[in-house]
Structure 1
Amino acid sequence: MPNLSLLKNCLPGAVWKRVVVVLLICAPFKGFSQYWQAGGFLGISNYSGDLVQQRVDLKYTRYSIGAHVKRDVNRYITVRAGLTYGRIAGADSTNTDTMLLRRNLSFRSPILEAQLGVEFNFLDLDEKRITPYVFGSVALFSFYPTTKDAQGNTVKLRALSTEGQGLAAYPTRKQYNLRQISIPFGAGVKVLLTDNWVAGFEIGFRKTFTDYLDDVSLTYVDRNTLLRSRGSKAVNFAYRGDEVTGGHVTPGTYPADGTQRGSAKYNDWYVFTGFTLSYRFGGGGGYGPNRWGKQKVSNCPRF
């Protein structure tokens, strides 16, 4: 950056005024020389938590869809912002562990996520036409675990305080927030289809700071206390082992206060995997392998 005060002293007044005008006019064009992208995402969503024995149970794969805006800062760095909607689910009925089968819990939840992050591209996309990339973001997401009763009706689980959240008898168990922060990160590959269209595929893991995506985390609370505070419906959905039918597992009775219900050792995760398609525009310096090297201020008056 030139020393403007020194430049002012060295130039006649009329020339200096022209320089100032040129700088003011050209500044926007220099910023415009970077690409913008707008596009969409279509894929699947998965969950990892207390209601699956494996890290991820593909039997409970659900859909996800989203939209994004990106800006290429240079050939390797891309800033991204996006909004994604997906659904996650899990159930004890497909587990093999007898204790989990007897617990007989299930859940489903929508996930709505807004994220802001950065991609690092390993190659120059305009030169190679393809590049792998990694990304990291910060996101705000919302969720709401529900389940189905024996008649197929939807039941909202948070309001039932199934693990004593918000009850005076369990002061350390605070009600969980339905809006949380997550840390999305992952990897993908993008392909330059034409000068304007970019296709990609990515997998993104979401580290959360809650263990209640599935409404399961700690231990059972006293049945009578839960009954008095939240009613019989809360008791019925805190433990559903009495609904078990068929197979080698016999129906159970509500466990004693303090019996393990979930595991708070690890927080829950969710994952979005899918395809992206983006339209890019701007760029100023033209398309092609040498685009970045040829970027320069244009459309500026001369004097």
Structure 2
Amino acid sequence: MKKKIVFVILFFCVSGGVFSQINEIGLFAGGSNYIGDIGRTNYIYPNSFAVGGIYKWNMHPHYSIRATYIYSKLSGDDSESNNSFRKYRDLSFTNDIHELAVGIEYHFFKYSLSKTGYTNTPYVFLEAGTVNYGTSEELGGGRTFNFTMPFGAGFKTILAPNIGIGFELGFRYTFKDDIDSYPFDPDDPNVQINPNNNDWYVFTGITLVFGFGREGCYTGSF
């Protein structure tokens, strides 16, 4: 057992230059838009605010483990759609959501808030999470939970020592079709909501983080 522990320590301390294993904590602020059965069909069209928090554990200059919490109001209005049927139908909704997700972030270039030269990089991320939102009386009322799969891309850079800023675009796929709060009714031509198209929503915004923590011995060369 001791040999295994020593081997693991040595594995993370091979030659290649010390990388500071620090934590990042900060804020996300921006906008959101819904993609579903009501309103516009634009993939990126922020029309509501979104705000939240973000935490990252920088395991390596090329990747981090991240956790996010974001609150937003999602809305859709058929009167703003370019689709003639939706304009005629004229439905609308508003729903507030709370999302909690955990995943991994990959940096295309080496990045660190505390190591000289690793100052900016584009990145991609993939998370798994849960989202809480309200439902209509026809769908049971109250609030419910749903699984969500956030993924997206961004660019980040160092604003000041141990302070980073970034721009991030993230798509969220859900596994239900009830964020718009309308049931499917085949007998009512005014409420034609496709039950086979699960909802999507998108967050677009800025991240501002503060780095803290002690230097670690991980020294990967890639």
- CA change 1:42–1:57 in 2 (3 A) is closer
Of 67, 81, 97, 1:95 maps to 81
Q: Output the CA distance in 2 between the equivalents of 1:80 and 1:187.
A: 13
| Aligned AA (1:215) | S
Alignment of 1:44 onto 2:34: no
- CA change 1:129–1:265 in 2 (3 A) is same
Q: Larger helix proportion, structure 1 or 2?
A: 1
Of 191, 195, 201, 1:264 maps to 195
Is there any run of 5+ residues in structure 1 with no aligned partner, and where? Answer: 5-32, 146-157, 167-174, 222-254, 286-290, 295-303
Q: Output the CA distance in 2 between the equivalents of 1:279 and 1:131.
A: 17
Q: Output the CA distance in 1 between the equivalents of 2:131 and 2:208.
A: 23
| Aligned AA (1:129) | T
> What does residue 50 of structure 2 align with?
64
TM-score (norm 1): 0.60
Alignment of 1:115 onto 2:101: yes
Q: Partner of 2:42: helix, strand, or coil?
A: coil
Equivalent residues of 1:50, 1:217 under 8 A apart:
no
Which deviates the most, 95-104 or 106-115?
95-104
| Aligned AA (2:42) | R
Identity %: 32
Q: Partner of 2:53: helix, strand, or coil?
A: strand
| Aligned AA (1:277) | L
Q: Output the CA distance in 2 between the equivalents of 1:206 and 1:199.
A: 22
Equivalent residues of 1:217, 1:263 under 8 A apart:
no
Cα RMSD after superposing both structures = 2.8
Aligned pairs for 1:167-178 (under 5 A) are 178=144
Q: Partner of 1:210: helix, strand, or coil?
A: coil
Aligned pairs for 1:16-165 (under 5 A) are 34-56=21-43, 58=45, 61-125=47-111, 126=115, 127-144=117-134, 158-159=136-137, 161=138, 165=139
Q: Larger strand proportion, structure 1 or 2?
A: 2
- CA change 1:73–1:128 in 2 (3 A) is closer
Q: Output the CA distance in 2 between the equivalents of 1:97 and 1:123.
A: 42
Give 1:78 shift: 0.5
Give 1:292 shift: 5.8
| Aligned AA (1:203) | L
Give 1:194 shift: 2.7
Q: Output the CA distance in 1 between the equivalents of 2:91 and 2:39.
A: 11
Equivalent residues of 2:89, 2:191 under 8 A apart:
no
Equivalent residues of 1:176, 1:212 under 8 A apart:
no
Tell me which of the two structures has the higher relative contact order, counting C-alpha pairs closer than 8 angstroms and 6 or more residues apart.
Answer: 2
| Aligned AA (1:282) | G
Is there any run of 5+ residues in structure 2 with no aligned partner, and where? Answer: 5-19
Q: Partner of 1:102: helix, strand, or coil?
A: helix
| Aligned AA (1:103) | R
> What does residue 206 of structure 2 align with?
275
Give 1:277 shift: 0.7
Equivalent residues of 1:211, 1:264 under 8 A apart:
yes
| Aligned AA (1:82) | T
Alignment of 1:196 onto 2:170: no
Q: Output the CA distance in 2 between the equivalents of 1:86 and 1:131.
A: 27
